[in-house]
Structure 1
Amino acid sequence: MSDGTWVDESDWEIGYDADEVAEAVAEAETPPVVAVVGRPNVGKSTLVNRILGRREAVVQDVPGVTRDRVSYDASWGDRRFILQDTGGWEPDAKGLQQLVAEQAAVAMRTADVIIFVVDATVGATIADEAAAKILQRSGKPVFLAANKIDNDRAEADAAVLWNLGLGEPHPISAMHGRGVADLLDHVTEALPPVRKPVGGGTGPRRVALVGKPNVGKSSLLNRLAGDQVSVVHDVAGTTVDPVDSLIELGGKTWRFVDTAGLRRKVAHARGHEFYASVRTRGAIDAAEVVIVLIDASQPLSEQDLRIISMVIEAGRALVLAFNKWDLVDEDRRYLLEREIDRELVQVPWAPRVNISAKTGRALQKLVPAMEQALASWDTRIPTSRLNTFLRDVVAATPPPVRGGRQPKIMFATQATTRPPTFVLFTTGFLEAGYRRFLERRLRETFGFEGSPIHINVRVREKRGRRNR
């Protein structure tokens, strides 16, 4: 052992084996997503609670209690997955309920498998039929859960749901658990081994323009799609899906997602924060790189910071675009720099571009910033190089002592990209401050400009040395 904080290769072989590394890497990968969708009050949250085996989702006998998508870690047998509870599906809903339907639509777009819940005692409604048509076009495995079938005599109610065109109805009772295990067996069989990364194909990279109201999102999109560049065409989704615009920029095509929904005005003042959150989160989830627009002429707001945090939590590549630069004078520039130093300390790695959608100032800098962020988002560090780097860092700056013992870092590997996610195998807990230190050193050495980094620590006491 060359120092007190790094375990050499022989110690690693004693402490861990290849299966253990594979298990840790699998845990770090993003599990597939199962979305539970359906009309209000058909029992979606009750089913979610039944699958989780605990009461997590709010359940009331009132339609529309669940307004936002909520995600939970779940498992069945040996399969891990993310379970999403969604708001009620109403294709012709207005106001708040319309936004709930949009959020359910986003869940359907981003999920790997969909459970469509129908109240079998009521039968298929017009809303169910409209949702079924959209689900048929989604290209995702869809399982029709005929809920509220509490006994054998009620199974005839489930049989009539064949006419929805989604295949065999699965009769269940979310309240009592009847048939749920059989449903989950079929669902987990349809899950992909590892979830495909967002935008993992060879098509245009997906970009979201997000920001608080009146920062210039629609002006920027119109400028990019009109005066400065040519629009290839609009790709229309279903009747409730957002429209994605394909725009030629910097010699390549980019897909701007959900921007039309982001710039629609909210009719009701009440619930404004919820409205903004629904549309912003939907755009972020569907994108690979997110351009967060900030009004440079105004002080940074809590809403700006919240949106940036949403991008980081979602693990998307990030570019900060300070818009309305034509309104910024020298005094405002000085204040803005102070605000950035104070408020954006968590994202010094995000590329910053000072633009004006109104005048077209510096818009040509957006493409290099997006390309840089995406390249970082896709970066993978070879295991040998990563461990050599960490060995040097730890030798110079060991982890702090915790509980009278100094943790040892035994091995490290990069589990995934998009975003870069690292797993450190240690003999003890690493303080959050030390993990932030490691992240800074990773960025100093390997770049990662424009991409969040996730560092997972897998703690295990070192095994006793075997006799040789």
Structure 2
Amino acid sequence: MSTGDSGWIEAELADLEVDAEHGAADEGPLPVLAIVGRPNVGKSTLVNRIIGRREAVVEDVPGVTRDRVTYDANWRGRRFTVVDTGGWDPEATGMNLRIAEQAQVAVELADVILFVVDATVGITDADQEVGNVLRQSGKPVILAANKVDNQQLELETHAMWSLGLGEPFPVSALHGRSSGDLLDEVLDKLPETPAETFGAERGPHRVALLGKPNVGKSSLLNKLAGEERVLVDPMAGTTRDPVDELIELGGKTWRFVDTAGIRRRDRELQGADFYAAMRTRAALEKAEVAIVLIDASEPLTEQDLRIIGLVIESGRAMVVAFNKWDLVDEDRRYYLEKEIDRQLVRTPWALRVNISALTGRHVDRLVPAIETALDSWATRVPTSRLNAFLTELVQQTPPPVRSGKQPKILFATQASTEPPKFVLFTSGWLEETYRRFIERRIREEFGFAGSPIEVTMKIREKRKKP
């Protein structure tokens, strides 16, 4: 390598991105505020107002929120967790009953309860019944009269003293009216926030559960948790908000995120389903590894391939879990292997586990697969080993000649991890097929099972003649 090449490589190396360090350590459990109330009283709108961003799915129809969903919030420098719940109706049956049960669980886990009622409707019989339950809970309860957009409605909220839950706080979640006063009251009732600490230790690994609707994501989360943490129903699309759950598995704590099922095309989605798809993508961006669930009893679909492509584009580690294995017979296994060979030819590195979320079959194999994928995701190959390997590889199989000249690989380095990215400094263009060949051989030599890797080029510019 010439002196000029060395100077060019050093300058380019200085410009490469370095790995971002993870800052804050896990701070332990934060105090919990549970937001409860009848369907369509504006709970999710109030959640968005409290956390200061539009994360909870909001639509002007009852029943949009179905699980209990957690968010991080901060007010006046104090951090706490907000739990958004489905509409709580004491007379509920079927799906609505199970939503109400999730709200009841949220109340049991909370430090403070924010009971939301609709000021434009007034106190209903359902509100009275929920109020009775809350009084018996022994937890601090704050009564929020929502949708108070004018002085007249504010005066009418005094009638809500009859619930026996203390002074009602008139607010407008939509317009922000008096929301600061409400949050001040919340802070007064919440336990003190743990002291903020910093260090090299990171919190629990984040695992996103992805798949098309009704593939069994929520069933798997409940099976891993050993209890019903999220709603499961034969009706597709039960989950809309990403649901975070801390679960102890294999001696470690993991943060699993159950996401809304990704449908065929975003442009076909409307209302809450559209925003739910956006939340799913955001949840994937925050995760470190994705478990893509595929229904093994049915042929692979375009949706399955799009979801796998989404994970690859995000650069996250990946485990493909073929669910409903209890429904797969010998014939289906034969055709499934053919489909995998044909349709997943570009992702042979994805780790595969055959499971049944319903029966628990081989679910215990998920954690070792996740750990392997995360280890690969964080693997760094020493520069000296990488260059020695590539030198030998190029000698055995040189790059194809292009325009009468054979490009050379002058130097290589791994620019980053999570995901691993390799940069080849070359004297000319390397064909895509040759770059894929290098990627395949890097995997054979150094591993990276369960992790995407990226191989890019930096081409030396032609020197101008003096």
Asked whether the two chains share a fold, i.e. TM above 0.5, the reply is yes
Q: Distance in 1 between matches of 2:442 and 2:458?
A: 18
Helix, strand or coil for the counterpart of 1:262? coil
2:59 to 84, 94, 100: 94
Amino acid in the other structure paired with 2:260: L
Q: Distance in 1 between matches of 2:416 and 2:354?
A: 32
Structure 1: stretches of 5+ with no match in the other structure: 1-7, 33-87, 100-104, 110-124, 137-199, 232-239
Q: CA offset at residue 279 of structure 1?
A: 3.8
Q: 1:333 to 1:241 in 2, by over 3 A?
A: closer
Q: Distance in 1 between matches of 2:57 and 2:289?
A: 31
**Contact residue 242 and residue 260 of structure 2 kept, 8 A:** no
Root-mean-square deviation over aligned CA pairs: 4.2
Amino acid in the other structure paired with 2:59: K
Amino acid in the other structure paired with 1:443: R
1:347 and 2:347 matched: yes
Amino acid in the other structure paired with 1:224: L
Q: 1:128 to 1:404 in 2, by over 3 A?
A: farther
Which residue of structure 1 lines up, in the alignment, with residue 458 of structure 2?
Answer: 458
Which residue of structure 1 lines up, in the alignment, with residue 309 of structure 2?
Answer: 309
Q: CA offset at residue 270 of structure 1?
A: 4.9
Amino acid in the other structure paired with 1:204: P
Q: 1:334 to 1:292 in 2, by over 3 A?
A: same
Q: 1:279 to 1:383 in 2, by over 3 A?
A: same
Q: CA offset at residue 263 of structure 1?
A: 6.4
Q: Any idea what the Cα deviations from partners look like across 1:396-426, whole Å, max 9, x if unmatched?
A: 1111122222111111111100000111111
Q: Any idea what the Cα deviations from partners look like across 1:365-404, whole Å, max 9, x if unmatched?
A: 0000000000000000111111111111111111112222
Which residue of structure 2 lines up, in the alignment, with residue 246 of structure 1?
Answer: 246
Helix, strand or coil for the counterpart of 1:245? strand
Q: Distance in 2 between matches of 1:376 and 1:387?
A: 19
**Contact residue 414 and residue 420 of structure 1 kept, 8 A:** yes
Amino acid in the other structure paired with 1:262: A
Give matches, 1:110-189, under 5 Å: 127=174, 129=176
Identity %: 58
Q: CA offset at residue 201 of structure 1?
A: 4.7
Give matches, 1:46-445, under 5 Å: 89=54, 93-94=58-59, 127=174, 129=176, 201-226=201-226, 242-257=242-257, 259=258, 261-262=259-260, 270-271=269-270, 274=274, 277-445=277-445
Q: Distance in 2 between matches of 1:353 and 1:91?
A: 32
Amino acid in the other structure paired with 2:294: I
**Contact residue 428 and residue 459 of structure 1 kept, 8 A:** yes
Higher normalized contact order (CA 8 Å, seq sep 6+, divided by chain length): 1
Q: Distance in 1 between matches of 2:429 and 2:446?
A: 25
**Contact residue 242 and residue 283 of structure 2 kept, 8 A:** no
Q: CA offset at residue 93 of structure 1?
A: 3.2
1:21 and 2:13 matched: yes
Q: Which has the larger radius of gyration?
A: 2
**Contact residue 210 and residue 261 of structure 2 kept, 8 A:** no
Structure 2: stretches of 5+ with no match in the other structure: 23-52, 65-69, 75-171, 184-199, 230-239
Q: Any idea what the Cα deviations from partners look like across 1:335-370, whole Å, max 9, x if unmatched?
A: 000000000011100110000001110011000000
Q: CA offset at residue 283 of structure 1?
A: 2.3
Q: Any idea what the Cα deviations from partners look like across 1:33-90, whole Å, max 9, x if unmatched?
A: xxxxxxxxxxxxxxxxxxxxxxxxxxxxxxxxxxxxxxxxxxxxxxxxxxxxxxx959
Q: CA offset at residue 456 of structure 1?
A: 1.6
Amino acid in the other structure paired with 1:390: L
Normalized against structure 1, the TM-score is what?
A: 0.57
Q: Any idea what the Cα deviations from partners look like across 1:90-139, whole Å, max 9, x if unmatched?
A: 9783079x99xxxxx99x99xxxxxxxxxxxxxxx964749x97xx9xxx
Q: Distance in 1 between matches of 2:202 and 2:21?
A: 22
Q: CA offset at residue 244 of structure 1?
A: 1.7
Amino acid in the other structure paired with 1:213: P
Q: CA offset at residue 16 of structure 1?
A: 3.2
